Amino acid sequence: MAEELTGRTALVTGAGSGIGRACARRLAAAGARVLAVDRNGETAGKVAAETGGLAVVADLSDPGFVDALPDEPVDIVVNNAGFQHVAPIQDFPPEVFRAIMKVMAEAPFLIARRYLPGMYGRRWGRFVNISSVHGLRASPYKSAYVAAKHALEGLSKVIALEGAEHGVTSTCVCPGYVRTELVESQIDDQARAHGIARERVVEDIMLRPAAIKRLIEPEEVAELVAYLCGPRGDFITGVSLPMDGGWTAR
């Protein structure tokens, strides 16, 4: 698979950490030029330096971010930036709900609106949307996250339908719990809240619905993303691929 993305440019949001960083590294290893978008300039800079790409500092919760994105042609978009907030609906701050929707649903729409015409002109494009098992299933106390991921699933299908005749595909990748900063901090929070050991949080709470009882590594997600971006992904569009250790088989 080495070098099969040579000549392609991949814009990865949330590229400074976790799954985004793993995707940036993997796509660069396949030959792509990486545009590493993150609100954290330091981590985006590190990933850009490491991958020989360009750091783009942008806060996706501000819809004006789209005007500051690079003007160069983009062939691959990995919509990955996101964050979590856990609270029952009656206590969920509306401004946090709105911010999650902006970063995880509206920003991917604005990015598609910005780069689809160029992809159509070149008759090739890939959208890989990092959804979640929560794009397919709900959990209590995650109203904004579940709503935003379900919205992203819908957007991905529409991009697939509109883009098909122009050589553009769009898919969702739906991981269960991945070993990233986002999950490490949730483990700490839950261990504190329940007064239990970190291992118990992982085994008894996070992995309870999954058949395979381990966290996924970001590199495993990035491998599927690279597959979808390469030539073997040509006919895979409009679908969501769970990478959830059997969670949604139930």
Residue 35 CA to residue 111 CA, distance in Å, equals 13
* Nearest distance in Å: CB 166, ligand NAD: 26
Nearer to ligand NAD, 4 or 86 (CB): 86
The pair of structure tokens assigned to 210 is: 């999954």
- Collapsing DSSP to helix, strand or coil, 93 comes out as coil
Q: How far is the CB of 54 from ligand NAD (least distance, A)?
A: 15
Shorter beta-carbon distance to ligand NAD: residue 33 or 46: 46
Nearer to ligand NAD, 148 or 168 (CB): 148
10 Å CB burial of residue 7 (0-12, 13-18, 19+) is exposed
**From the candidates 115, 120, 145, 177, which is the catalytic residue?**
145
- In whole angstroms, the minimum distance from the beta carbon of 185 to ligand NAD comes to 8
CB contact at 8 A, 133 and 175: yes
Residue 247, both tokens: 């969670």
Is 145 an annotated catalytic residue?
yes
Which single residue brings its beta carbon nearest to ligand NAD?
18
The Cα 106–Cα 63 span in angstroms is 8
Question: Minimum distance from CB of 243 to ligand NAD (Å)?
Answer: 9
Q: Which residues bind ligand NAD (CB under 6 A)?
A: 14, 16-20, 38-40, 43, 58-61, 80-83, 103-104, 130, 132, 175, 177-178, 180-183
Q: Six-digit token pair at 128?
A: 């890989």
82/125 with CB nearer ligand NAD? 82
Percent composition of the chain: helix, strand, coil (DSSP 3-state, to 5) = 50, 15, 35
Report the distance separating Cα 230 and Cα 175, nearest Å.
Answer: 20
Question: 17 or 169, CB closer to ligand NAD?
Answer: 17
Q: Minimal distance in Å, beta carbon 120 to ligand NAD?
A: 26
Among 94, 91, 95, 189, CA closest to 140:
91
- Where is 241: in which H helix or E strand? strand 240-243
Name the residues annotated as catalytic: 145
